[in-house]
A and B are shown apart, each in its own frame.
Chain A
Amino acid sequence: MSKCILCNNNPYVLIRFISGNYLHFCKSCWEKIKIFTIKNKKGKEGKRCPVCKYTIEEFNEYRFLGCDFCYEYFYNEVISYLKRIHTVIFYKGKYPKRFKNQKNGLKRIFDVENSIDKIEIVNEEFK
Chain B
Amino acid sequence: MKNLNEIFDIIEKNTRWIYSKLGKDIVITSRIRLARNIKGYPFPYNMTNEESKEIERLLIDIFLKMSFNDIFIIEVPSLNELEKQILIERHLISKEFSENGAYSKVIIIPEKKLTVMINEEDHLRIQVIYPGLNLKKCWSIANEIDNYIDEKVEYAFSPNFGFLTACPTNIGTGLKASVLINIPGIKFLKKEKIIFNIIEKIGITIRGFYGEGSLPFGSIYQLSSSESTGKTEEEIIKEIESVVKLIKKEEMNSIEEIKGDKKLRKKIYKIIEKNSEDKRKDPSKLYSIISLAYNLGMLKIGKKEFEKLLFSFLNEYKKIKSDFNFYKKEGKILKREIWETINV
Contact = CB atoms under 8 A, between A and B. Distances in A.
Interface residues on B, range: 35 or more
A9 to B, nearest CB: 18
A97 B148 CA distance: 10
B123 to A, nearest CB: 10
Contact of A91 (B147, B167, B175, B229): B229
A50 interface: no
Contacts of A99: 157, 159
A39 interface: no
**For B162, B168, B203, B231, which residue has the most chain A Cβ atoms within 10 angstroms?**
B168
A96 B155 contact: yes
Contact of B232 (A52, A67, A71, A92): A92
B151 interface: yes
A88 to B, nearest CB: 3
Contact of B42 (A35, A52, A71, A98): A52
Interface residues on A, range: 35 or more
B45 interface: yes
Nearest to A92: B232
B173 A33 contact: no
Given A82-B161, A89-B172, A93-B233, 18 more contacts: A34-B158, A35-B158, A35-B160, A67-B42, A68-B37, A68-B158, A71-B158, A87-B230, A89-B230, A91-B159, A92-B232, A93-B173, A93-B175, A95-B159, A102-B159, A106-B159, A109-B159, A116-B160
Closest 5 CB pairs of A and B: A88-B230, A68-B156, A93-B173, A91-B162, A66-B46
